[in-house]
Chains A and B, each alone.
Chain A
């Protein structure tokens, strides 16, 4: 195993606590999102859950990494921003395509409670409780 004390001996205590908090919160939010993947009932509900991990979950862990490495090396470590920017642009695009293809498949299969091709605003769409239970 790697000796943690050796790696972090140059870190001031406040930075260690801040990193600990950020990493813990990020991991907790990501776990919450993935648990939602198990607990929610229909596909359209489940799509919302992983967004937790890809927004604030990733954000917390990246901030923790920035604090830790900036303080350890004594110069600003900002290349974590790259992951944040790439992830905020790519994750929505992926999920949008996925939901659209799921909608297409539900329409082809003729499942109930999927909105028709030309929805009208104002009319409350049916709650999709019965789209596809597992």
Chain B
């Protein structure tokens, strides 16, 4: 299976790099969401950014859990996911009332 020019443990090197790149990607994705969260331009854009930020943070935590081969982070990811939903619903409902028209 392994060619002579590859080290014997090459699948693990691939996994190591893939997890590293995935964490980098998710970090960048969180930065994109943070841009919308901070700069808007409108209130609904900020709420959208916050929701995306939550989902990306949840995925980053899951990826970190795989990287350290531990399932402790699973429950935390679950709670982050559910809190993100609650936040989005509450903020949308708040915008719907029309009390924060800029």
Question: Do A and B share a direct contact in the complex (Cβ within 8 angstroms)?
Answer: yes
Interface residues of chain A, those whose CB is within 8 Å of chain B, are 2, 4-5, 7-8, 11, 13-14, 16-17, 19-21, 23-24, 26-28, 30-31, 33-35, 37-38, 43, 46-47, 50, 53-54, 57-58, 61-62, 64-65, 68-69, 72, 77, 79-80, 82-83, 86-87, 90-91, 93-95, 97-98, 100-102, 104-105, 108-109, 132, 134
Are B22 and A43 touching (Cβ within 8 A)? no
Instruction: State the Cβ distance, B28 to closest chain A Cβ, in Å.
Output: 6
Main secondary structure of the interface of A (DSSP, over half): helix
Query: Which residues in B have their C-beta under 8 angstroms from that of A38?
Result: 32, 35-36
Q: Is the CB of B85 within 8 A of A98?
A: no
Are B44's CB and A101's CB within 8 A? yes
The one of A28, A68, A83, A98 that contacts B47, using a Cβ cutoff of 8 Å? A98
Q: A11-B12, A20-B17 are in contact. List 19 more A-B contacts (CB 8 A).
A: A4-B16, A7-B68, A8-B12, A17-B15, A27-B23, A34-B52, A35-B29, A37-B35, A43-B42, A43-B44, A47-B48, A50-B48, A50-B51, A65-B74, A68-B66, A91-B51, A97-B89, A101-B44, A134-B40
B45 CB, nearest partner CB in chain A, Å: 6
Main secondary structure of the interface of B (DSSP, over half): helix
- CA of A64 to CA of B67, assembled, Å: 11
- Are B78 and A64 in contact, with the CB atoms below 8 A? no
Distance, CA A16 to CA B18, complexed state (A): 10
